[in-house]
Amino acid sequence: MKLVFLGPPGAGKGTQAAGVAKAFDIVHISTGDMFRAAIRNQTPTGLRAKAFMDAGELVPDAVVIEMVKERLAQDDCKNGYLLDGFPRTVEQAEALDGFCPPDAVVDLEVPDEALLARLTGRRVCVKCQGIFHISKLADETVCPVCGAELIHRDDDKPEAIQTRLNVYHAQTSPLVGYYRNNGKLRPVSGVQAPEAVTKEILSVLRGDA
Ligand code: AMP
């Protein structure tokens, strides 16, 4: 099963992707997580990506496409993949169709007003990559799952959030039409409890498995 998760920043792609990838026994690949790891490890890709990410802008297509192409060629992708955060431009979608086209594309729909509240309160675990909202945390700095440090991503701060939403509407939302036209789009409302969203995604995808 080869899946793409589409949706604006804060729609719940990361949270949902982890559970859905497990259910289909496929590898969860988040390009944002790959870039954050590359920055921590100070690789050439990380050094190129950092300024774009901090500003809430997209990393150039050529860099992302090459990184994903290499990743999908690895052994653990033989059973399929779940791409979270890629493609984000029509050029990336066309490249993916060239080397490993998806079977289905889940589009998580959430209005902008809800996204702002989710993103400003979001905290991410540096170790297990768990994603939490401050309204549900006893301590905003400690991961309730593994005890490691929780961080407030630089690009989840108000200045960068508006840029990311603008970038989404300008560059990524055309992909909704792209995948609707080729019959792969599976729209799901992301404005429900996380468990209900997972249930709906699994039921929608059952026909594609
Ligand atoms: P995410 O964790 O998916 O929100 O990604 C965080 C940041 O990484 C984005 O705001 C971009 O700067 C960069 N990024 C992740 N995936 C892509 C992509 N497919 N194309 C371009 N930039 C990306």
pLDDT digits (tens, 9 = 90+) for 46-77: 999 999 998 889 999 999 999 999 999 999 99
Please report, for the domain that includes residue 184, its CATH number.
Answer: 3.40.50.300
Domain that holds residue 13: 2-26+79-111+159-208
Find the catalytic residue in 2, 36, 88, 123. 88
How does pLDDT run across 151-194, given as a tens digit for each residue? 999 889 888 888 999 999 999 999 999 999 999 999 999 999 99
In ligand 1, which atom is closest to the CA atom of 86? 19
pTM of the model: 0.89
pLDDT tens-digit map of 14-41:
999 989 999 999 999 999 999 999 999 9
* Residue-wise burial string across 29-61, b where 16 or more C-beta atoms lie within 10 A, e elsewhere: bbbbebbbebbeeeeebbeebbeebeebbbbeb
Is 206 one of the annotated active-site residues of the chain?
no
Please report which confidence band the pLDDT of residue 209 belongs to, taking 50, 70 and 90 as the band edges: low
Tell me the three state secondary structure of residue 151: strand
Look at residue 33 and tell me if it is in a domain.
no
